[in-house]
Protein backbone atom coordinates (compact mmCIF):
# COMPACT_ATOMS: atom_id res chain seq x y z
CA UNK A 1 0.00 0.00 0.00
CA UNK A 2 1.05 3.57 -0.59
CA UNK A 3 1.28 6.11 2.22
CA UNK A 4 -1.42 8.82 1.92
CA UNK A 5 -1.22 11.82 4.22
CA UNK A 6 -4.12 13.60 5.88
CA UNK A 7 -3.88 16.89 4.02
CA UNK A 8 -6.16 19.93 3.87
CA UNK A 9 -7.19 18.81 0.38
CA UNK A 10 -8.08 15.36 1.72
CA UNK A 11 -10.23 16.85 4.50
CA UNK A 12 -12.03 19.09 1.99
CA UNK A 13 -12.68 16.12 -0.28
CA UNK A 14 -14.03 14.10 2.65
CA UNK A 15 -16.35 16.97 3.53
CA UNK A 16 -17.53 16.98 -0.10
CA UNK A 17 -18.27 13.26 0.05
CA UNK A 18 -20.16 13.74 3.30
CA UNK A 19 -22.27 16.44 1.64
CA UNK A 20 -23.03 14.11 -1.27
CA UNK A 21 -24.08 11.34 1.11
CA UNK A 22 -26.27 13.72 3.09
CA UNK A 23 -27.89 15.12 -0.06
CA UNK A 24 -28.53 11.63 -1.40
CA UNK A 25 -30.52 10.72 1.68
CA UNK A 26 -32.42 14.01 1.63
CA UNK A 27 -33.29 13.63 -2.06
CA UNK A 28 -34.68 10.15 -1.38
CA UNK A 29 -37.40 11.65 0.85
CA UNK A 30 -40.63 11.96 -1.19
CA UNK A 31 -41.31 15.56 -2.15
CA UNK A 32 -44.35 17.33 -0.79
CA UNK A 33 -46.37 20.19 -2.25
CA UNK A 34 -46.69 22.85 0.42
CA UNK A 35 -50.13 24.22 -0.41
CA UNK A 36 -52.97 25.57 1.71
CA UNK A 37 -56.53 26.50 0.83
CA UNK A 38 -57.49 30.14 0.43
CA UNK A 39 -60.70 29.42 2.38
CA UNK A 40 -58.91 29.02 5.73
CA UNK A 41 -60.47 31.44 8.20
CA UNK A 42 -57.14 32.07 9.96
CA UNK A 43 -55.52 32.88 6.61
CA UNK A 44 -58.30 35.27 5.63
CA UNK A 45 -58.26 36.95 9.03
CA UNK A 46 -54.47 37.35 8.86
CA UNK A 47 -54.61 38.79 5.32
CA UNK A 48 -57.48 41.23 5.90
CA UNK A 49 -56.74 42.21 9.50
CA UNK A 50 -58.70 45.28 10.61
CA UNK A 51 -60.37 45.43 7.18
CA UNK A 52 -62.03 42.02 7.50
CA UNK A 53 -65.47 43.60 7.86
CA UNK A 54 -65.02 45.18 4.40
CA UNK A 55 -64.14 41.94 2.64
CA UNK A 56 -67.60 41.28 1.21
CA UNK A 57 -68.10 44.90 0.21
CA UNK A 58 -64.77 45.53 -1.50
CA UNK A 59 -64.97 45.46 -5.33
CA UNK A 60 -62.72 42.73 -6.69
CA UNK A 61 -61.08 45.13 -9.14
CA UNK A 62 -59.79 47.19 -6.21
CA UNK A 63 -58.21 44.22 -4.49
CA UNK A 64 -54.92 42.45 -4.99
CA UNK A 65 -53.98 38.80 -4.64
CA UNK A 66 -51.27 36.84 -2.90
CA UNK A 67 -50.28 33.36 -4.07
CA UNK A 68 -47.86 32.40 -1.30
CA UNK A 69 -46.97 33.12 2.29
CA UNK A 70 -44.81 31.92 5.18
CA UNK A 71 -46.26 29.85 8.00
CA UNK A 72 -44.89 29.85 11.54
CA UNK A 73 -45.28 26.74 13.68
CA UNK A 74 -44.22 26.92 17.32
CA UNK A 75 -43.04 23.57 18.63
CA UNK A 76 -41.74 22.69 22.08
CA UNK A 77 -38.14 22.39 20.91
CA UNK A 78 -37.96 24.89 18.07
CA UNK A 79 -39.85 27.15 15.68
CA UNK A 80 -40.57 26.20 12.09
CA UNK A 81 -41.05 28.58 9.19
CA UNK A 82 -42.38 27.16 5.95
CA UNK A 83 -43.15 28.79 2.62
CA UNK A 84 -46.48 27.63 1.19
CA UNK A 85 -48.55 28.31 -1.90
CA UNK A 86 -52.10 29.59 -1.47
CA UNK A 87 -54.52 27.79 -3.78
CA UNK A 88 -56.18 29.53 -5.45
CA UNK A 89 -54.51 32.90 -4.74
CA UNK A 90 -56.14 34.86 -1.93
CA UNK A 91 -57.83 38.20 -2.49
CA UNK A 92 -56.45 40.82 -0.10
CA UNK A 93 -57.21 44.50 0.62
CA UNK A 94 -55.92 47.07 -1.87
CA UNK A 95 -52.66 48.83 -1.15
CA UNK A 96 -51.68 46.70 1.84
CA UNK A 97 -49.66 43.54 2.32
CA UNK A 98 -50.20 41.24 5.31
CA UNK A 99 -47.51 41.75 7.96
CA UNK A 100 -45.62 39.00 9.76
CA UNK A 101 -46.00 35.26 9.35
CA UNK A 102 -49.24 33.35 9.73
CA UNK A 103 -49.06 31.34 12.96
CA UNK A 104 -50.58 27.85 12.69
CA UNK A 105 -50.80 24.77 14.91
CA UNK A 106 -48.62 21.72 14.28
CA UNK A 107 -51.74 19.60 14.83
CA UNK A 108 -53.79 21.32 12.13
CA UNK A 109 -54.82 18.53 9.70
CA UNK A 110 -53.81 20.60 6.67
CA UNK A 111 -50.49 21.58 8.23
CA UNK A 112 -49.50 18.30 9.90
CA UNK A 113 -48.03 16.69 6.73
CA UNK A 114 -45.74 19.72 6.30
CA UNK A 115 -44.59 19.52 9.92
CA UNK A 116 -43.89 15.79 9.63
CA UNK A 117 -41.93 16.36 6.42
CA UNK A 118 -39.90 19.14 7.99
CA UNK A 119 -39.24 16.97 11.05
CA UNK A 120 -37.90 14.16 8.86
CA UNK A 121 -35.53 16.55 7.09
CA UNK A 122 -34.49 18.09 10.41
CA UNK A 123 -33.60 14.68 11.86
CA UNK A 124 -31.52 13.84 8.78
CA UNK A 125 -29.64 17.13 9.05
CA UNK A 126 -29.03 16.63 12.77
CA UNK A 127 -27.72 13.10 12.25
CA UNK A 128 -25.38 14.15 9.45
CA UNK A 129 -24.11 17.15 11.40
CA UNK A 130 -22.97 14.68 14.05
CA UNK A 131 -21.43 12.40 11.40
CA UNK A 132 -19.57 15.30 9.78
CA UNK A 133 -18.16 16.48 13.09
CA UNK A 134 -17.00 13.05 14.25
CA UNK A 135 -15.56 11.86 10.94
CA UNK A 136 -13.55 15.03 10.30
CA UNK A 137 -12.36 15.14 13.90
CA UNK A 138 -11.18 11.52 13.71
CA UNK A 139 -9.28 12.04 10.46
CA UNK A 140 -7.51 15.06 11.95
CA UNK A 141 -6.23 12.83 14.75
CA UNK A 142 -4.74 10.31 12.30
CA UNK A 143 -1.21 10.45 10.91
CA UNK A 144 -2.37 9.13 7.54
CA UNK A 145 -5.32 7.72 5.64
CA UNK A 146 -3.61 4.35 6.07
CA UNK A 147 -3.75 4.61 9.84
CA UNK A 148 -7.40 5.60 9.74
CA UNK A 149 -8.22 2.51 7.66
CA UNK A 150 -6.14 0.28 9.91
CA UNK A 151 -7.84 1.49 13.07
CA UNK A 152 -11.36 1.48 11.63
CA UNK A 153 -11.72 -0.27 8.23
CA UNK A 154 -15.38 0.77 7.87
CA UNK A 155 -14.33 4.40 7.55
CA UNK A 156 -13.56 3.59 3.90
CA UNK A 157 -17.25 4.42 3.26
CA UNK A 158 -16.44 8.06 3.92
CA UNK A 159 -13.20 8.28 1.95
CA UNK A 160 -13.33 9.48 -1.70
CA UNK A 161 -12.38 6.67 -4.07
CA UNK A 162 -9.26 8.38 -5.45
CA UNK A 163 -7.64 8.20 -2.01
CA UNK A 164 -8.50 4.52 -1.63
CA UNK A 165 -6.89 3.92 -5.03
CA UNK A 166 -3.74 5.74 -3.89
CA UNK A 167 -3.59 3.74 -0.65
CA UNK A 168 -3.76 0.51 -2.66
CA UNK A 169 -1.05 1.48 -5.17
CA UNK A 170 2.01 -0.04 -3.51
CA UNK A 171 3.44 -1.18 -0.20
CA UNK A 172 3.23 1.41 2.52
CA UNK A 173 6.32 2.83 4.11
CA UNK A 174 6.44 2.79 7.88
CA UNK A 175 4.60 5.78 9.33
CA UNK A 176 5.66 5.32 12.94
CA UNK A 177 3.84 4.04 15.99
CA UNK A 178 0.24 4.54 17.01
CA UNK A 179 -0.95 8.13 17.30
CA UNK A 180 -3.69 9.82 19.30
CA UNK A 181 -6.12 8.59 16.64
CA UNK A 182 -6.48 5.28 18.47
CA UNK A 183 -7.74 7.13 21.53
CA UNK A 184 -9.98 9.32 19.37
CA UNK A 185 -11.57 6.21 17.85
CA UNK A 186 -12.73 5.08 21.28
CA UNK A 187 -14.85 8.22 21.55
CA UNK A 188 -16.65 7.74 18.21
CA UNK A 189 -20.15 6.36 17.95
CA UNK A 190 -19.08 3.97 15.20
CA UNK A 191 -22.48 2.26 15.01
CA UNK A 192 -24.13 5.62 14.37
CA UNK A 193 -21.53 6.58 11.78
CA UNK A 194 -21.77 3.26 9.95
CA UNK A 195 -25.57 3.40 9.95
CA UNK A 196 -25.53 6.88 8.41
CA UNK A 197 -23.39 5.67 5.53
CA UNK A 198 -25.60 2.62 4.98
CA UNK A 199 -28.76 4.77 4.90
CA UNK A 200 -27.13 7.07 2.35
CA UNK A 201 -26.20 4.11 0.14
CA UNK A 202 -29.73 2.69 0.37
CA UNK A 203 -31.13 6.08 -0.68
CA UNK A 204 -29.77 5.73 -4.23
CA UNK A 205 -26.96 4.58 -6.46
CA UNK A 206 -23.60 6.23 -5.93
pLDDT digits (tens, 9 = 90+) for 30-72: 999 999 999 999 999 999 999 999 999 999 899 999 999 999 9
Q: In what order do the strands lie in the sheet with 64-74?
A: 35-37, 79-92, 64-74, 102-104
Task: Please tell me whether residues 122 and 198 are part of one structural domain.
Answer: yes
Predicted confidence (pLDDT) at residue 174 exceeds the cutoff of 90: no
Task: Please tell me whether residues 86 and 186 are part of one structural domain.
Answer: no
Count of structural domains, the chain: 2
Domain with 23, as residue range(s), is: 8-30+118-202
Residue 83 lies in a domain: yes
Per-residue b or e along 22-56, where b marks 16 or more CB atoms closer than 10 Å to that residue's CB: bebbeeeeeeeebebebebeebeebbbeeeeeeee
Residue 146 lies in a domain: yes
158 to 3, 11, 143: CA distances (angstroms): 18, 11, 17
The SS3 call for residue 12 is helix
Domain boundary, last residue among 89, 108, 127? 108
Helix (H) or strand (E) holding 106: none
Residue 156 lies in a domain: yes
pTM of the complete model beyond 0.85? no
Task: Please tell me whether residues 94 and 130 are part of one structural domain.
Answer: no
Amino acid sequence: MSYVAISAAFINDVKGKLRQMRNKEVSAIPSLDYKISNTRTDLIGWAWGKHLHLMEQMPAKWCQKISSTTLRVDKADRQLRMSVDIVPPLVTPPGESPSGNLSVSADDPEIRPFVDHEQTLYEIRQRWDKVDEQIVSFFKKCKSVNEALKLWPQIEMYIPSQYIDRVNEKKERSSGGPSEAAEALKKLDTDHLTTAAVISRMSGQE
